[in-house]
Amino acid sequence: MSEASVAVHADADLLAQAVAARLVVKLLDAQADRGQASVVLTGGRIAAAVYRAVAALPAHDAVDWSRVDVWWGDERFLPAGDPERNETQARAALLDLLPLDPARIHPMPASDGPDGVDPEAAAARYAEELAAAARPGHATLPHFDVLLLGVGEDGHVASVFPEHRVHYESRPVSAVRGSPKPPPVRTTLTLPAINTAEEVWLVASGSDKAAAVHMALDGAGPVQLPAAGVAGVSRTLWLLDRAAAADVPPRFRSLR
């Protein structure tokens, strides 16, 4: 598990551009090292801005997108194509514009998918898809080069919400019922699954995120503040705009 580090950018627009540039470089490095790359996407407003920024970045053409696996960290359990689905958002902002291999795009199941409106079955199906991509003889998850997370005002990451029973789920993918943020039914990677990623980047913008960022970096408990429980294997990087970074604890300020 890695120590957190913090990078701050002037505003949300520059933050999105910086994350986009980092992401392209990370995927290029992974392809140079491993011959392929994998990214775990998230949802939310700043994530959408990052996806648009990647699409606008000329250097994205340097990535061999046919050798990139795309996974999701969480999903709103709604019908395919619903504009509120994280998948729909990512496809519209970026994925539909890239020469990806459709077989390497791995959305979480929709509520009109093979399991119907059963999020527990959908979560189990996604866990099977992940396990099928894991290295033979290894864990139940594939290698994730980089996993992106937004951070909610309440400190949630993916669809792991404070005090929710998803914290006690032992499987890597969980159904979420009773989400405090709409829609109420979701599917999500759990924190232990998130923390298998080589690098985890927590991206937050706006003053309404400052308190959650502060508490997460200041030693809050993960059940109360899920973002506090995130740690990538080799890197845990908080990517913030100035407003979200307003209350970053002093020991991280030299890193800004």
Ligand X SMILES: O=C1O[C@H](COP(=O)(O)O)[C@@H](O)[C@H](O)[C@H]1O
CB of 61 to ligand X, least distance (A): 27
Residue 203's beta-bridge partner residues? 150, 239
The single-letter code of the amino acid at 62 is A
Least distance from ligand X to the Cβ atom of residue 49, Å? 9
Residue 97's SS3 state is helix
Query: Dihedrals φ, ψ of 239, to 5°?
Result: -115, 110
Closest distance of CB 84 from ligand X, Å? 9
Work out which of 38, 88, 159, 174 binds ligand X, going by CB under 6 A: 159
Q: Smallest gap, in angstroms, from Cβ of residue 157 to ligand X?
A: 6
* Residue 7 DSSP one-character state: E
**DSSP H helical ranges for 80-178:** 86-93, 119-133
* Residue 18 interacts with ligand X (CB under 6 A): yes or no: no
How many Å apart are CA 197 and CA 39, to the nearest integer?
A: 9
Q: Of 82-141, which residues contact ligand X (CB under 6 A)?
A: 86
- Work out whether 150 is an interface residue with ligand X (CB under 6 A): yes
Considering only 12-20, 41-49, 94-102, 224-232, which stretch makes contact with ligand X by CB under 6 A? 41-49
- The two three-digit tokens of residue 36, written as one number: 């392929």
Q: Which is nearer to ligand X, 31 or 194 (CB)?
A: 194
158 part of the interface to ligand X, by CB under 6 A: yes
